[in-house]
Structure formats: structure tokens, C-alpha cells
Amino acid sequence: MIGEIALAIEMGADAVDIGKTILPHPTLGGSIGMAAEVAHGSYTER
């Protein structure tokens, strides 16, 4: 469940990096990616 966040912390990734990651949806990982895009202001409805 925390794989994406743990990897982001380990790599020093920010919300932009997480938002650019291709993640399956609807999953927790996809929700994390969407939240990162929203936080960065780059979310667009797909």
C-alpha cells in the first residue's frame, strides 16, 4: 500500500515526479498519483 510513497521518499521525488509516473487506476497507487497532480496543479481530467 505504501510502495509508491516509500519509493518517492527513497528517490527524493516530489509531487511532480509522482504525478508523471504511470499508475493503474482505480487503485491506491493511482489515487496517490492523482493527488500528486492535484497538489502540483497539473491535474487534468482524463
The residue annotated as part of the active site, out of 3, 9, 11, 25, is 25
- By CB atoms closer than 10 A (0-12, 13-18, 19+), residue 15 is middle
Among this protein's residues, is 25 annotated catalytic? yes
- The residues, ordered by sequence, that sit 6+ positions from 3 with a Cβ below 8 Å of its Cβ are 29
**Would you please indicate which residues are annotated as catalytic (active-site) residues?**
25
